[in-house]
A and B are shown apart, each in its own frame.
Chain A
Amino acid sequence: MRTVNSTQQYRLAEIRKVFARDQVALDRIVLTVCRGERVALIGPSGAGKTTLFRLLNCTLRPTSGKLWIDDEDVESLNGKDLRRTRSRIGSVYQQHNLVPRLRVIHNVLAGQLGRWATLQSLLSLFKPADVEIARQALQQVGMPEKLLERTDELSGGQQQRVAIARVLVQNPDVILADEPVSSVDPSLASTIVRLLIEISQNRHKTLIVSLHSVDLALAYFPRVIGIKEGRVSFDLETSKITEGMLEDLYSGNFRDHSMTEAISERVQSVAYPSVG
């Protein structure tokens, strides 16, 4: 049961995730994240960051090990309870996480789906409910004028802000962002990271962000976790992280990392072309 005064947002014990053909994505992850904490996750491509995020937002289940959210054992959750837990966790993805053919307002209001009844959500597609809420959320990410535009007509950075507006509407306890800035230019990248931090600070939300840019991670987050080959390589206060650890994390290719970033982005988009 959920204990409201608990300070632990997430507790992971010996989490393993093994995909088909014995592909070990995560191997014995042990981790605790407290409420209101801001954590950056870094690591080379294929380390298991996205898989970890999918476990944290309850769209995947671990193969073995235990995961508690707010002291609630996720394994026991199903159906409605599972969806309620998901609705308390907001996710921002790298790209392609909005529905391109819908208007911005519907993508933003999708943050309400965990609260809305099915019929109500269907009707909202024809006559948007909660227009004011959507407008305010877009206002906060700095583009209130885009409310009625079609989402696929926005630029990549604008779409990312729509995704953040959706999280604002969802108003979850936790915000997870999986490589939220790898498809935008560097100056916009820090703007978006700052926006996420601002939101988590103002509303006292837990924030976990995976980043390909080590500089951003070190600059904005008090705690950084390095993931390599499915394991936690280090989990430290930012000030205690050394160049050597980073070299080790990226197997000596740390300074070339901006290149691997571009490659990994492409690899990811071809790696899982369909659900499955």
Chain B
Amino acid sequence: MKESNPSLIRPSDKSFFPYIFTALFVLAFVDSWRRADIDPVVFFEKKGQEALWKFLTGMFPPDVSWNFISLMLRPALETIQISLWGTLIAVAIGFPLGLLGTHTLAVRGILNDAELQGAPVRRGMRYGLYFLARGLLSLFRSIPEFVWAFMFVRAVGLGPFPGVLAIGVAYGGMLGKVYSEIFEAVNYRPLEALQSVGANKLQIFFYGWFPQALPNFVSYTLYRWECAVRASAILGLVGAGGLGQQIEISMRMFNFNEVLTILIILFMMVAAVDYISAKTRAML
């Protein structure tokens, strides 16, 4: 609430909803503490301390032998490749679906008024496509990439390919949703002017929509690529290739020093991707 409207937060308000919400909020926290097995005592018990200690000391010094690092080069490259192809597929899915799911482009507003007024069949079809696109996008993104990876490993076998597919589908859903929001937020007046020249929807898109949306479009896509680098490491844990698979192997063999090395490599990769995307954004 703005300060200029203090009456909204004054406790003298008769409404008792705030109290109910506060109570529910607190209850939710207390309840999930119990259910999530949050147990700080583990840090003070001898057994817990020993396990933690073993894990932490086991990590140092990291294994920086060329022997091990050279073994990790391929998986590291694989992680980058998974993230790149996964993001590419995500854009290929998210872009068209995002377009169809942009209601100012598909069904509403001045760009559709003249076309759809008095044409119920066409309007119905457009709405159908619109809801189909929206539905697919939310289906894709409501299932976590981890679960997608799990399913794709079953479907196409171990290796990087299920990782690519998992990122492509899950991130496609996220990208599409955000793309449609970006497209909806552009200033519509230039679009109206282009329409009045006699441009068709695609021309309006290329000349008015996309140029206005470009900076946000690029930055969000790059941001998703960063996330994909991290995600593709995680996906390795279920057998979808890349560095994650190596982490899993080293963990299983209690070689925690190798784990630390891999985490350092991963950190450097994410930092590099971050740097590249910052540079790209600055160019726009």
Binding site for B on A (CB under 8 A): 54, 57-61, 75, 78-79, 82-91, 93, 95-102, 106, 110-111, 113-116, 118, 121-122, 125, 163, 166, 170, 274-276
Chain A residue numbers with a CB within 8 Å of B198 are 83-88, 113-115
Chain A residue numbers with a CB within 8 Å of B207 are 99, 102, 106, 110, 113, 121, 125
Considering the complex, give the chain B residue whose CB is closest to the CB of A118.
B202
Give the distance in Å from the alpha carbon of A152 to the alpha carbon of B91 in the complex.
29
Chain B residue numbers with a CB within 8 Å of A97 are 189-190, 192-193
* B22 CB–A CB distance under 8 Å: no
A152 to chain B, nearest CB (A): 10
- Let me know if B211 and A60 touch, CB within 8 A: no
- Let me know if A166 and B109 touch, CB within 8 A: no
A100 to chain B, nearest CB (A): 7
* B203 CB–A CB distance under 8 Å: yes
Partner of A59 from B110, B190, B203, B208 at Cβ < 8 Å = B110
* B114 CB–A CB distance under 8 Å: yes
Give the distance in Å from the alpha carbon of A95 to the alpha carbon of B192 in the complex.
12
Count of chain A to chain B residue pairs whose CB atoms are closer than 8 Å in the complex: 118
B199 to chain A, nearest CB (A): 4
- Let me know if B190 and A83 touch, CB within 8 A: no
Chain A residue numbers with a CB within 8 Å of B111 are 275
- Let me know if B194 and A113 touch, CB within 8 A: yes
B186 to chain A, nearest CB (A): 9
B29 to chain A, nearest CB (A): 38
Chain A residue numbers with a CB within 8 Å of B208 are 99
Give the distance in Å from the alpha carbon of A115 to the alpha carbon of B203 in the complex.
11
* B57 CB–A CB distance under 8 Å: no
- Let me know if A59 and B197 touch, CB within 8 A: no
A98-B104 contact, Cβ under 8 Å, with A84-B198, A113-B198: no
- Let me know if B185 and A59 touch, CB within 8 A: no
Give the distance in Å from the alpha carbon of A100 to the alpha carbon of B214 in the complex.
12
B96 to chain A, nearest CB (A): 16
Chain B residue numbers with a CB within 8 Å of A82 are 114-115
Partner of A99 from B109, B114, B190, B196 at Cβ < 8 Å = B190
Report B95-116 CB contacts with A as 1/0, cut-off 8 Å.
0000000001000111101110
Chain B residue numbers with a CB within 8 Å of A86 are 195-198
* B184 CB–A CB distance under 8 Å: yes
- Let me know if A59 and B188 touch, CB within 8 A: no
- Let me know if B197 and A113 touch, CB within 8 A: yes
Give the distance in Å from the alpha carbon of A59 to the alpha carbon of B117 in the complex.
11
Chain B residue numbers with a CB within 8 Å of A113 are 194, 197-199, 203, 207
Give the distance in Å from the alpha carbon of A87 to the alpha carbon of B203 in the complex.
13
- Let me know if B200 and A83 touch, CB within 8 A: yes
What are 30 A-B residue pairs whose CB atoms fall within 8 Å in the complex? Answer: A57-B196, A59-B110, A59-B114, A59-B196, A60-B110, A75-B118, A79-B115, A86-B196, A87-B198, A88-B198, A90-B196, A96-B190, A97-B192, A98-B190, A99-B190, A100-B187, A100-B212, A101-B211, A110-B207, A111-B197, A113-B199, A114-B198, A116-B203, A121-B207, A125-B207, A274-B104, A276-B104, A276-B108, A276-B109, A276-B110
